[in-house]
Amino acid sequence: MTDSALQLSKRPSAATRVLKAILLLRESWVGMLGAALVLFWILVAVFAPVLAPFSPNDNLVPIATPGTEFVTDANWQSGKFVAKDSCTPIEDEPGKVYCGTFWLGTDNLGRDILSRIIWGAQTVLIFAPMATFFAYLVGIPMGLWAGYSRGRVDAIFSFISNVILSYPVLVLYVLIITTIDRSSMNIVAAVVFASAPGIFRIVRGLAMDLRPREYVFAAETRGEPLWYVLFMEILPNARGPLIVDAMLRLGYVIITIGTLAFLGLGLPPPDPDWGRMISEGRQMIQVFPHISLFPCLAISSLVLGFNLLADGLREISLRD
């Protein structure tokens, strides 16, 4: 027996197992499309400093339509403006230099929309996952505890979450953010407060479903502590639906953050934020639709990406 103990084959490392799981996604083209969209925006966010043609907050040419070339005086100065050597002199017009193209145009303050969208991706991909993560951090333990123990714990938690859920979400956000201050962390806190009850309900349902399983009984009959039963016996088996839900929820949180910014309750200016960009272009939307249109497309493509990814994950988890 001890001989064979030494010959135990090593199990594949954690990294290869995760990789294998991700490769399963290949079987769902919907999931692949979603993953591609999400991955695209992640890459955009990571390489924003390289990809953005201009600085996002520079006032260059006000309300330039998409495709306008940025031509300016050779001795034009600006503190934050792109390095001057990237501009090329134009031969026909002495004294003028060509410094790039506003592929998506500029807004009323002359800021390049493409650059702002690229930088805005960073903002959204930092705060949305952070808010979702904290919401799960609150919702999961409460849901597990309530769903497993039932009784008074469940009654109290369910009551609290029902009260929160019965309140119109948007009003809730406005209330929270206008009461406490308008800062990035407060937005995260508001999102956590509003979405944790939903997560609580899902986790509670999953825990109630898994509670009568015999392996849970087995853990009880050997006197395992509560935390062990909750986090080691129940939670790992609820992870499938939770991952799918997290993807969907991430999409909603992105919309929420966008909505808040649109209402003027988002991140403080001047840093680029997709929701605020839409809001700022709103007054001119009939004349210059590009100012609002492109940030809109950015938000919807990212949300669509997460939703399709969730669909794909659900699809492959239902097979097998």
Partner 1 sequence: MGKFQADWDGPVLECKSLSISYYTRAAEIPAVQDFNLALKKNETIGLVGESGCGKSTVAMAIMRYMGKNMAITGGQVLYKGVDLATLSEEELRQLRGSEISMVYQEPMASLNPAMKLDRQLMEVPLYHEHVSEQEAYDRAVKMLSNVKLPDPERVMASYPHQISGGQQQRVVIAMALLSEPSLLLLDEPTTALDVTVEAGIVELIAELAGRIQTSMIYISHNLGLILETCDRINVMYSGQVVEEGSVSEVFDKMRHPYTQGLFSAIPLPTADKNARPLQAIRGQLPLPHARPKGCYFGPRCDHFRDGLCDGGPISMQTVDEASGHGSRCLRWTEINWTRVGAGAGQDVHADFGESVLNVEHMKKYYELKDTSMAAMIKGGSSRHVKANESISFLAREAETVAIVGESGCGKSTLAKVLMGLETATEGTVNFQGKDLSQVPVQQRQRDDVKALQMVFQNPFDTLNPSHTVGSQLGRVIRKFGGITDGEAVRRRVLELLDIVKLPSDFYFRRPRQLSGGQKQRVGIARAFAGNPTMVVADEPVSALDVSVAAAVTGLLMDIQRTYRTTLLFISHDLSLVRYLADRVVVMYLGHIVEQGTTEEIFSPPYHPYTEALLSAVPIADTSIEKKRIILEGSLPSVINPPKGCVFHTRCHRKIGDICQSQVPPQVDMGGGHRILCHIPEDELKAMGPVIVQKGEPQEAAE
Residue 30 beta carbon to partner 1: minimum distance, rounded to whole angstroms: 16
Residue 5 vs 171, nearer CB to partner 1: 5
Using alpha carbons, list the distances in angstroms from residue 96 to 73, 74, 111, 183, 245. 5, 5, 20, 42, 54
Does residue 217 interact with partner 1 by CB under 8 A? yes
Reduce the DSSP state of residue 69 to 3 states and report it.
Answer: strand
Residue 17 vs 282, nearer CB to partner 1: 17
- For residues 49 and 81, give the distance between their C-alpha atoms in angstroms, rounded to a whole number: 13
Does residue 107 interact with partner 1 by CB under 8 A? no
Residue 80 vs 239, nearer CB to partner 1: 239
**Contact pick of 95, 151, 168, 223 for partner 1 (by CB under 8 A):** 223
x/- site string to partner 1, residues 27 to 56, per CB under 8 A?
x-----------------------------
Does residue 318 interact with partner 1 by CB under 8 A? no
Does residue 93 interact with partner 1 by CB under 8 A? no
Nearest to 67 by CA among 121, 112, 3, 8: 112
Nearest to 134 by CA among 177, 193, 204: 193
Residue 1 vs 171, nearer CB to partner 1: 1
Does residue 152 interact with partner 1 by CB under 8 A? no
| DSSP-assigned letters across all residues of 2-47 | HHHHHTPPPPPPHHHHHHHHHHGGGG-HHHHHHHHHHHHHHHHHHT
- For residues 243 and 127, give the distance between their C-alpha atoms in angstroms, rounded to a whole number: 18
Does residue 13 interact with partner 1 by CB under 8 A? no
**Contact pick of 213, 231, 264, 285 for partner 1 (by CB under 8 A):** 213
**Contact pick of 220, 268, 289, 317 for partner 1 (by CB under 8 A):** 220
- For residues 266 and 191, give the distance between their C-alpha atoms in angstroms, rounded to a whole number: 12
**Contact pick of 153, 174, 182, 224 for partner 1 (by CB under 8 A):** 224
Of 137-145, 221-229, 247-255, 259-267: span binding partner 1 (CB under 8 A):
221-229
CB atoms within 10 A of CB 317: 13
Reduce the DSSP state of residue 275 to 3 states and report it.
Answer: helix
Asked if residues 270 and 57 have their Cβ atoms less than 8 Å apart, the reply is: yes
Does residue 319 interact with partner 1 by CB under 8 A? yes
CB atoms within 10 A of CB 88: 10
Strand order through the sheet with 96-102: 68-73, 96-102, 88-89
Does residue 84 interact with partner 1 by CB under 8 A? no
Site residues for partner 1, 225-284, by CB under 8 A, read 232-233, 236-237, 239
Residue 27 beta carbon to partner 1: minimum distance, rounded to whole angstroms: 7
CA–centroid distance for 166 within its chain:
25
Task: List residues near partner 1 by CB under 8 A.
Answer: 1-2, 4-5, 8-9, 11, 27, 213-215, 217-218, 220-224, 232-233, 236-237, 239, 319
